């Protein structure tokens, strides 16, 4: 399972959250207006104790019913104003924050599409899914509530303390007594909670990965009776996450206990001192009522500090996790005007002294491909043969630049592939993989993905004919039939034929086929090969092959052994002259099954590691 980068120990939550500003900037006017409205609502709430003071010292003390009713009307109007202002604040933030979340999610998806294959090799898909769902939800909640109320409550506390000190400075000092221990507690809590919040969000990503793998691999799990082991793995991860969440709850309970208890004690002390002062005639009853009402009005702003800090730390962690992905370097397009490398001698597809080592391979480990020299002439088809783990799939992945060569270069018609933009390169080169991937879309859309801008119904029909995929016309809606997730509603051979159709639909100049017929029965394979020969007659092709029947599609054969090209020739020449090649072909003829060859790429990567 891929791991995510460890967070920096000295991370500043404020500095991290400031990275959200480019997304917030377009809606800043509404957010600032909402904050102003919320501050105004809080200040209205602080006027209520002053009205109470006037009522107690005035109409109530003078036994004036008219004044009492007038004061009640004032209190009602102030309460309505406060409620309306808070409703207005909510309305102001709802739409823009949905836009912020949608923009961030769209940017993340777009960025993931541009990241190199090496990135996706390192990262578990569940970690990426949790960043695009759970983390962005946390950020929207932070922008909607904690961000505003950290400011609002801070202003409310400041204004309230000033009002209390103006009413009676001795009682004000009593109320301010717990301020220092509360601030120290908040600083300690913030640091500890940040670590636990990060751990919890990473564990959510791990749990998402397990769920996703269980759903996609349900046939394997059921076929091998692995539901108990999968359930055990899920329970273990779920239990670990539960433990982390309980740690968060204990931290939050601790700070909340401190923040609630100390101010309550201070209010109780202020009440005792105030009552004594009223009894001694040093303080009016109205002033004491107003003072205590103001103190009670500040209870919520003070008590909310704990969970506002907690939500802010979770938002900072979510921001950090989001930008861990966004900071990854993408596959940069070639800058127009950059001088292109000089054309190499010859044309067709050519490997010039190509060496490749996977980016995460241990230092000093041998390369997967070592000084590969290979030339496929224009219009020629070459079969690539080798034992499992010899580097065949890796070699084919270098042509469309799924990975960058460590040294050497690859040319198409004499032009270095790095001189082409990836879009232009992949328009020239079509690839069909041994393990085909289909999307939850119509059959026709899956095939036309190979040439979405240039192919139409005629090209679709031709490609299906080449791949002998006539079975699609028998589906309920023909080419408009929706296939299930990853095409699992189709057989392996059907998926492989659709993948082959996708590769040839755009009539590419260069075709790379990674054992595209391994899942087909003998009769279907023969029919596909007969149709494919017509396509290969006008295309420069590299075909990873295991069966002699697939090898015979090619004009020549290259033997890849231990990351090097060991021999090149026709099938018959290599059978006569190369013992390793003869052994590979005889092993195939003696009954090796296609399933025994699955996982070629994983074997190569494992050898590289």
pLDDT at 410: 92
Is residue 587 helix, strand or coil?
helix
Closest CA to 562 of 390, 357, 388: 390
Closest CA to 262 of 182, 337, 164: 182
Closest CA to 273 of 171, 179, 173, 172: 171
- What would the DSSP string read from start to end of 474-516? GSTTGGGPBP-GGGTTS-HHHHHHHHHHHHHTT--SEEEEEST
Task: Name the segment(s) of the chain with CATH classification 1.20.1560.10.
Answer: 16-326
Which residue stretches of the chain have pLDDT < 50? 1-9, 334-340, 344-346, 588-609
- What would the DSSP string read from start to end of 347-363? -SEEEEEEEE--TTSPT
Determine if residue 371 is left, alpha or beta; phi over 0 gives left, psi from -120 to 50 gives alpha, anything else beta: left
**Dist. CA 11–CA 114, nearest whole Å:** 28
pLDDT at 488: 59
pLDDT at 603: 41
Residue 408 near residue 341, CB atoms below 8 Å: no
**Dist. CA 391–CA 601, nearest whole Å:** 8
Tens of pLDDT, residues 512-547: 888 777 767 777 778 877 888 878 878 888 988 888
Residue 61 near residue 71, CB atoms below 8 Å: no
Is residue 290 helix, strand or coil?
helix
- What would the DSSP string read from start to end of 222-255? HHTTTHHHHHHHHHHHHHHHHHHHHHHHHHHHHH
Closest CA to 499 of 473, 541, 469, 529: 469
Determine if residue 373 is left, alpha or beta; phi over 0 gives left, psi from -120 to 50 gives alpha, anything else beta: beta
Residue 539 near residue 379, CB atoms below 8 Å: yes
Helices (H) then strands (E): counts for the chain: 25, 10
Which is it for the CA torsion 558, 559, 562, 566, positive or negative? negative
Determine if residue 355 is left, alpha or beta; phi over 0 gives left, psi from -120 to 50 gives alpha, anything else beta: beta
pLDDT at 322: 92
CATH no. for 349-608: 3.40.50.300
Q: What's the CATH class of domain 16-326? A: mainly alpha
Closest CA to 220 of 603, 522, 595: 595
> Residue 315, class by beta-carbon neighbours within 10 Å (0-12 exposed, 13-18 middle, 19+ buried)?
buried
**Dist. CA 305–CA 37, nearest whole Å:** 20
**Dist. CA 201–CA 132, nearest whole Å:** 12
**Dist. CA 276–CA 167, nearest whole Å:** 16
Tens of pLDDT, residues 43-55: 888 888 877 777 7
Residue 117 near residue 396, CB atoms below 8 Å: no
pLDDT at 351: 92
Is residue 597 helix, strand or coil?
helix
Closest CA to 426 of 435, 413, 434, 417: 417
Q: Which value, to the nearest 10 degrees, does the dihedral of the CA atoms of residues 234, 240, 241, 246 take?
A: 140
Quote the distance between the C-alpha of residue 211 and its chain's center: 16
């Amino acid at each position: 399972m891929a791991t995510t980068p460890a967070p920096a120990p000295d991370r500043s939550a404020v500095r991290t959250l400031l990275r959200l500003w480019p997304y917030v900037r377009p809606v800043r006017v509404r957010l600032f207006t909402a904050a102003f409205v919320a501050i105004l609502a809080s200040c209205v709430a602080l006027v209520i104790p002053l009205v109470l003071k006037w009522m107690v010292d005035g109409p109530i003390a003078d036994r004036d019913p008219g004044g009492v009713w007038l004061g009640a009307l004032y209190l009602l109007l102030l309460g309505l104003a406060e409620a309306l202002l808070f409703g207005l604040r909510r309305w102001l933030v709802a739409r823009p924050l949905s836009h912020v979340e949608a923009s961030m999610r769209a940017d993340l998806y777009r960025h993931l599409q541009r990241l190199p294959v090496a990135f996706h090799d390192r990262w578990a898909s569940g970690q990426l899914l949790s960043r695009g769902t759970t983390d962005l939800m946390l950020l929207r909640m932070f922008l909607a509530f904690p961000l505003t109320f950290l400011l609002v409550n801070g202003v409310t506390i400041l204004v309230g303390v000033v009002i209390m000190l103006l009413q009676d400075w001795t009682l004000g000092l009593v109320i301010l007594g717990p301020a220092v221990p509360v601030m120290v507690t908040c600083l300690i809590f913030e640091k500890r909670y940040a670590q636990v919040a990060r751990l919890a969000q990473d564990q959510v990503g791990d749990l998402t990965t397990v769920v996703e793998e269980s759903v996609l691999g349900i046939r394997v799990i059921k076929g091998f009776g692995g539901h108990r082991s999968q359930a055990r793995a899920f329970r273990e991860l779920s239990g670990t996450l539960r433990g982390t969440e309980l740690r968060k709850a204990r931290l939050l309970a601790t700070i909340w206990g401190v923040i609630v208890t100390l101010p309550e004690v201070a209010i109780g002390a202020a009440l005792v001192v105030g009552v004594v002062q009223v009894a001694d005639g040093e303080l009016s009853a109205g002033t004491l009522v107003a003072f205590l009402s103001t103190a009670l009005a500040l209870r919520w702003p003070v008590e909310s500090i704990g969970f506002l800090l907690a939500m802010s730390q979770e938002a900072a962690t979510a921001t950090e996790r989001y930008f861990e992905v966004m900071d990854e370097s993408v596959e940069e397009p070639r800058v127009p005007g950059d001088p292109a490398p000089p054309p190499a001698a010859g044309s067709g597809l050519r490997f010039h002294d190509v060496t490749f080592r996977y980016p995460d391979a241990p230092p000093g480990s041998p390369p997967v491909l070592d000084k590969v020299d290979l030339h496929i002439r224009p219009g020629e088809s070459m079969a690539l043969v080798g034992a499992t783990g010899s580097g065949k799939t890796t070699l084919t992945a270098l042509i469309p630049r799924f990975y960058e060569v460590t040294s050497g270069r690859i040319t198409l018609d004499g032009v270095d592939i790095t001189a082409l933009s990836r879009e232009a390169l992949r328009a020239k080169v079509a690839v069909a993989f041994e393990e085909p991937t289909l999307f939850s879309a119509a059959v026709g859309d899956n095939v036309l993905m190979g040439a979405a801008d240039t192919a139409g119904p005629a090209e679709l029909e031709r490609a299906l004919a080449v791949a002998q995929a006539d079975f699609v016309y028998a589906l309920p809606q023909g080419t408009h039939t929706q296939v299930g997730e990853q095409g699992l509603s189709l057989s392996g051979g059907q998926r492989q034929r659709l993948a082959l159709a996708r590769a040839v639909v755009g009539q590419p100049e260069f075709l790379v086929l990674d054992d595209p017929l391994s899942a087909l029965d003998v009769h279907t394979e023969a029919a596909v090969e007969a149709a494919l020969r017509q396509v290969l007659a006008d295309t420069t092709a590299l075909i990873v092959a295991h069966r002699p029947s697939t090898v015979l599609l090619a004009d020549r054969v290259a033997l890849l052994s231990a990351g090097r090209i060991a021999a090149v020739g026709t099938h018959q020449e290599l059978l006569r002259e190369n013992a390793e090649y003869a052994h590979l072909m005889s092993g195939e003829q003696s009954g090796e099954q296609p399933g025994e060859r699955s996982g070629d790429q994983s074997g190569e990567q494992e050898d590289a590691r």
